């Protein structure tokens, strides 16, 4: 796969907490890395969710090496770089500095940072739980974004709430991933690890690549 124009920027954003932004950012980054892609995660969240994820992986690597100095290194396959609104307001500098895929993880409530990240993104992925509050915030984020796509997360399958959420998005003409991320312990347990062998997120990556191919940003 070839990224056109040197760099593609994927922003993961919704002006609300608890929707799975950091998990989505890191899962996509790890799965793209496993496909052989060059990836950088920019952590603009003031709580440092992606940065802490990287720290947990580094701690686990040290523990394994202490137990067995010959152990295979346990590391993320990509850097996590802390960033801020000033950087995000200069996307061309981001493109000059980083090649391949740049994934921006965003805070839940800093409107200036979130909007700067949205403006910088070639595509904005909007994680959204199937709830009235999340759908409202997702709609507002979608309206502020170019090439926005909603990703339903923490979905309980075969529930009325899940069905209604999908119907509402479709009726409003809001683009969404066909794949949904279901509410499972395995997803929660991914935090701070490199174990992202998740069929749902793998499917999201393929849908994302297909979409980027359609809008001529990547070439498979």
Contact present, 220 and 214 (Cβ < 8 Å)? no
pLDDT for the residue 168: 96
- Residue ranges and CATH numbers for the domains of the chain are 2-213 (3.40.50.300)
Burial of 20 (0-12, 13-18, 19+ CB in 10 A): buried
What are 7-31's pLDDT values in tens digits? Answer: 999 999 998 888 899 999 999 999 9
What are 60-72's pLDDT values in tens digits? Answer: 999 999 999 999 9
Confidence of residue 185 (pLDDT cuts 50, 70, 90): confident
pLDDT for the residue 10: 98
- Report field, pTM of the whole predicted structure over 0.85: yes
pLDDT for the residue 128: 96
pLDDT for the residue 5: 73
The percentage of residues in the chain with a pLDDT greater than 90, rounded to a whole number, is 84
Place of tokens 């926005």: 148
| Mean pLDDT computed over 195-212 | 92
Could you tell me which residue, 217 or 10, shows the higher pLDDT? 10
Confidence of residue 197 (pLDDT cuts 50, 70, 90): low
pLDDT for the residue 15: 87
Confidence of residue 180 (pLDDT cuts 50, 70, 90): very high
Beta-bridged to residue 167, according to DSSP, are: none
What are 107-140's pLDDT values in tens digits? Answer: 998 999 999 999 999 999 999 999 999 999 999 9
Please state, rounded to an integer, the average pLDDT across all residues of the chain.
94
What are 38-52's pLDDT values in tens digits? Answer: 999 999 999 999 999
């Amino acid at each position: 796969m070839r990224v056109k124009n040197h760099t593609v920027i994927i922003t993961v954003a919704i002006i609300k907490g608890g929707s799975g932004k950091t998990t989505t950012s890191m899962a996509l980054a790890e799965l793209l890395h496993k496909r052989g892609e060059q990836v950088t995660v920019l952590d603009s969240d003031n709580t440092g969710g992606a940065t802490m994820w990287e720290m947990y992986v580094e701690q686990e690597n040290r523990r394994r090496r202490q137990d067995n100095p010959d152990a295979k290194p346990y590391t993320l396959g990509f850097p996590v770089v802390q960033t801020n609104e000033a950087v995000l307001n200069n996307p061309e500098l981001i493109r000059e500095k980083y090649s391949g895929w740049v994934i921006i993880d965003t805070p839940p409530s800093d409107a200036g940072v979130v909007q700067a990240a949205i403006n910088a993104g070639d595509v904005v992925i909007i994680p959204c739980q199937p709830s009235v509050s999340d759908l409202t915030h997702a709609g507002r984020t979608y309206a502020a974004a170019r090439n926005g796509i909603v990703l339903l997360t923490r979905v309980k399958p075969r529930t009325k709430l899940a069905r209604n959420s999908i119907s509402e998005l479709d009726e409003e003409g809001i683009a969404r991933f066909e794949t949904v991320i279901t509410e499972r312990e395995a997803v929660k347990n991914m935090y701070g690890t490199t174990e992202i062998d998740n069929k749902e997120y793998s499917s999201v990556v393929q849908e994302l690549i297909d979409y980027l191919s359609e809008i001529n940003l990547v070439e498979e």
